[in-house]
Amino acid sequence: MNRKKAFIGILSVIMIMMMVTTGCKPKQTAAPAQPKETAPPTTTVTPTETSLPQNESITNPSVPTPATPAGNQADKVSLASADKGDKDKAEGEQTPPATKPNAQTKPKIEIKSPYTQAKPTLLGLTLKTSAAEITEKFGKPKEQFVMEDDTDPITVYDYTDFLVGFDKQNQLHFVDVRSADVNPGLNGLKLGDPVDEVTKALGKPDSNTSFVLTYKATGAVLKLDIDPKSQKVNSIKLFAE
């Protein structure tokens, strides 16, 4: 009986040890499978074509722009002038017109010494008067120029309505009336009057042609040009002999 109990106890110990051994043995677990590396999806980029406006092209900055032919310069100038005219017109419509400055005052002519054969004058001016006296009387001329002459160049002062010329001694050499707005001091005769009025104002001329009436005076000659068609005075000059 004791042997049986001892055998059962030994058997029980063996079984317990087997169970313990089996229970303590670690279970081998399969290693987790490594995920396969998948390549990122390839995206194909298709270049989009940008449509250009009609009549436009892409200019390569590395290629120099061809020079404009010289023959077109006149056209460019014409276009620029047209653009400027349009711009000025547009600006004029937007802004009120500026006030124009007063026109240059014309020289005041006072006839203190009218023409006579003994003392010939025109515009009340006596020949050989100095240039300083003329500018003192009428002011500075609008324009000044020189009539070249080998022997005696003439300096001309332009006062618009009349011209006066001076010799190299700066003495008055001639007077030329250019406007009917001024009184030349010929007894009421003016530029544009009929030829019949000439003899009434000055008497019979020393020389009379279809184109010119000439009056000789002391140291001077008065010359009146006549328009053959209208038979009117279109020029009055007094000059030194």
Could you read off the pLDDT of 75-89 as tens digits, one per residue? 333 333 333 344 444
pLDDT for 183-211, tens place per residue? 999 999 999 999 999 999 999 999 998 89
pLDDT of residue 2: 59
pLDDT of residue 69: 40
Report which of residues 219 and 58 the model is more confident about: 219
The yes-or-no verdict on residue 133 having pLDDT over 90 is yes
Instruction: Write out the H or E segment, with its range, that includes residue 233.
Output: strand 232-240
Model confidence at 55, pLDDT cuts 50, 70, 90, reads very low
**What is the pTM assigned to this prediction?**
0.57
Instruction: Provide the CATH topology of domain 121-240.
Output: Pathogenesis-related Protein p14a (3.40.33)
The percentage of the chain sitting over the pLDDT mark of 70, rounded to a whole number, equals 60
Model confidence at 45, pLDDT cuts 50, 70, 90, reads very low
Closest CA to 219 of 130, 120, 112, 116: 120
pLDDT of residue 103: 42
The yes-or-no verdict on residue 1 having pLDDT over 70 is no
The yes-or-no verdict on residue 181 having pLDDT over 80 is yes
Domain locations in the chain as residue ranges = 121-240
Alpha helices in the chain (DSSP H): 2-24, 73-94, 131-138, 196-202
Nearest 5°: the CA angle 49, 55, 61 is: 70
- Torsion sign across C-alpha atoms 158, 164, 170, 173: positive
The yes-or-no verdict on residue 51 having pLDDT over 50 is no
pLDDT of residue 23: 57
The percentage of the chain sitting over the pLDDT mark of 90, rounded to a whole number, equals 49
Model confidence at 11, pLDDT cuts 50, 70, 90, reads confident
pLDDT of residue 104: 55
| Residue in the structure block whose two tokens are 């020289």 | 107
Average pLDDT (149-155) is: 82
Instruction: Write out the H or E segment, with its range, that includes residue 144.
Output: strand 143-147
